[in-house]
């Protein structure tokens, strides 16, 4: 008989669990980083419940984050001139399959965009599920333009404008919005993994994050299985899905200056 051990969404998976260098793992959906064991959960405060359909761009991707990474809000990034956004690093997975909430995918890293979201560094990794039929063809950022022409331009524009319908200014990018290549992206992953190492060992200001973990032995926030099960037992059952307001289908046409 197996006993399933509760784990933290942010902290439990190793970056290269399969031992295949360059193939990071990626979780689909939002992670509640300020709650015990970091459950996967809809962020109803900061993020939108849904994203608006925005004028000229239409993109289609799966969105998640790499575990065991942290965009350190105490560190100013030299490319963007801004501090980290206090989250794991985000991933845009560009394969054809629409992933399900909570899926864990193994992805090939292709590049990264340097988004500055409301004054914070917010790297957007571009990656593809290793099981996608296109994955063999895509090995670096220039292959994306070759096999998916227009996709990167549309993704850049969408990230620029997606908060404008809610009354926010357009988002900015470092490098003029040009995506950086795989080598650069892997350097950023390694950097954010080092920040996470310090965070989980209690060597960095956690900035309100809950760093509880059931798997990292040398962490001061190590939680034993009994306490972790108690956290699970005290968690509310998921509610019923709510009706979707037809307003989500409205298209917004924004003016860029
Ligand atoms: Mg982010």
Whole-number Å distance, alpha carbon 1 to ligand 1 midpoint, is 39
Q: What is the mean pLDDT of the chain?
A: 86
pLDDT value for 16: 65
CA distance 120 to 86: 9
Residue 27 has pLDDT above 90, yes or no: no
* Residue 106: strand, helix, or coil: strand
pLDDT digits (tens, 9 = 90+) for 156-210: 998 999 889 888 899 999 999 999 999 999 999 999 999 999 999 999 998 899 8
Tell whether pTM > 0.85.
yes
What is the CATH topology of the domain spanning 9-236? Answer: Inorganic Pyrophosphatase (3.90.80)
CA–centroid distance, 97 to ligand 1, in Å, is: 22
- Say which residue, 14 or 138, is predicted with more confidence: 138
Q: How far is the CA of 91 from the centre of ligand 1 (A)?
A: 9
Share of the chain above pLDDT 90, in %: 48
pLDDT category of residue 1 using cuts at 50, 70 and 90: very low
Ligand 1 center to residue 42 CA distance, Å? 15
Compute the distance from residue 116 Cα to the ligand 1 centre, in Å: 9
87 Cα to the center of ligand 1, angstroms? 5
- Percent residues over pLDDT 70 in the chain: 88
Cα 226 to ligand 1 centroid, rounded to whole Å = 32
Characterise 106 by phi-psi region: left (phi > 0), alpha (psi -120 to 50), beta (else): beta
Residue ranges per structural domain of the chain: 9-236
């Amino acid at each position: 008989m197996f006993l399933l051990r509760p784990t933290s969404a942010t902290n439990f998976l190793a970056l290269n669990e399969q031992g295949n260098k360059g193939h990071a793992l990626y979780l689909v959906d939002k992670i509640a980083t300020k709650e015990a064991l970091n459950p996967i959960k809809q962020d109803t405060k900061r993020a939108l419940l849904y994203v608006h359909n925005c004028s000229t761009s239409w993109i289609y991707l799966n969105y998640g984050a790499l575990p065991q990474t942290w965009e350190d809000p105490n560190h100013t990034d030299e490319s963007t001139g801004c501090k980290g956004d206090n989250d794991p690093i985000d991933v845009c997975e560009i394969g054809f399959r629409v992933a399900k909430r909570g899926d864990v995918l193994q992805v090939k890293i292709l590049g990264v965009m340097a988004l500055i979201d409301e004054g914070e560094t917010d790297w957007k990794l571009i990656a593809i599920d290793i099981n996608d039929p296109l994955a063999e063809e895509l090995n670096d950022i220039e292959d994306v333009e070759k096999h998916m022409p227009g996709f990167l331009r549309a993704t850049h524009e969408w990230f620029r404008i997606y908060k404008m319908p809610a009354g926010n200014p357009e988002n900015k990018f470092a490098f003029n919005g040009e995506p950086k290549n795989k080598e650069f992206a892997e350097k950023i992953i390694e950097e954010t993994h080092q920040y996470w190492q310090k965070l989980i060992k209690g060597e960095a200001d956690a900035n309100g994050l809950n760093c509880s973990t059931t798997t990292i032995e040398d962490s001061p926030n190590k939680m034993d299985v009994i306490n972790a099960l108690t956290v699970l037992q005290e968690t509310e059952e998921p509610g019923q899905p709510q009706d979707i307001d037809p307003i989500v289908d409205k298209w917004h046409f924004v003016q860029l200056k």
